[in-house]
Amino acid sequence: MAGHRSFSAVRQLTDCGEAYRLARIERVTEQPMAAGAAGKIIHIGTEYVDYAIIDGATDKGALTLIAHKAAAEATPQVIEEELSEAYPDTASWMSFGRRTVAKPQGEDMQWFIAEGIPTALANYVEWRLQNSHLQVAELPSTPPGTAHAIEVDFEIQLSPDCAPIRGAIDRVFRDSNGTPLLVDIKSGLKPKSSSQLGLYARAWQEMYGEKVQYGAYVYGLKKGVTATPPIDLSVWTDERLNQVYGTADKLIEQSLFIPKPGDGCFTCTVKRNCDYYVASIF
């Protein structure tokens, strides 16, 4: 079976088949989102925070400085990767959030650089220090102390009939009892499903032979970190994961891309190339 899948690709397919087709089959130029680029930068900053904590850092000011420096260094490259002839500067990117006199463009890239990213990283530092009982897990297949579960790349195949699935697990922590907790970090809103965590738990088990029963989302970083209570991931059996990703494979193989105009069009990165966008009602 040609190609591979990812959680984000399958979510896009199920949210709107036409958006998937335009973005991943036709490969039209997508309009960048300021929040999306900022999210990548924030993730990089959180990685540096956790590596510093692993190395023994505990001072809030020092950790915040480390995060801000990492984000500042990453920002030009992330922005450069998003630019295109159709969207040659960040002013042409999608931005959301309430428009005010102080924020006439809403939460655009300029706002994120000046306020959103630093605030999100400071909030993450605060959350980590408040949850010092959570320690980043070491990768089981490596010598002790040499590699940790931060942005763990994976490629798994749920069954011979499914395309390989690639992704990266944000974190696996261990509590004071050594129990693993799989965590995905979202700078924005809380996801509506545990499906991403369930897939990642399956990947961790396949790679390292350890079952992770619980996961959590850490979200809303730009306003103040919130963590969901531990979510039981045992609902995501191989059978159920195969149902999701196997069905996605069949839809793609048969070119069954169902348009779903609606609320999702508001944030769609390919709406300017979509014939169905005009049918959406916000």
What digits encode the pLDDT tens for the residues 179-192? Answer: 999 999 999 999 99
Q: Which residue has the tokens 């390989």?
A: 164
Does residue 69 sit in the same domain as residue 164? no
Please report the pLDDT score of residue 103 as a whole number.
Answer: 81
> Which of 169, 143, 147 is CA-nearest to residue 156?
169
Residue 263 inside a domain? The answer is: no
Distances (CA, A) of 273 to 70, 168, 260, 268: 35, 30, 15, 10
Query: Which H/E stretch holds residue 180?
Result: strand 180-185
Please report the pLDDT score of residue 2 as a whole number.
Answer: 59
Q: What total number of domains does the chain contain? A: 2
Does residue 69 sit in the same domain as residue 99? yes
Segments of the chain with pLDDT less than 70 = 1-2
Range of the domain at 126: 5-133
Residue 278 inside a domain? The answer is: no
Distances (CA, A) of 166 to 3, 90, 199: 10, 29, 10
Query: Which H/E stretch holds residue 79?
Result: helix 60-82
Taking the C-alpha atoms of residue 14 and residue 16, their distance in angstroms, rounded to an integer, is 5
Does residue 91 sit in the same domain as residue 42? yes
Please report the pLDDT score of residue 164 as a whole number.
Answer: 97
Does residue 19 sit in the same domain as residue 50? yes
pTM: 0.94
Taking the C-alpha atoms of residue 226 and residue 174, their distance in angstroms, rounded to an integer, is 19
DSSP one-letter string for 142-172: S-TTS-BSEEEEEEE-SSTTSPPEEEEEEEE
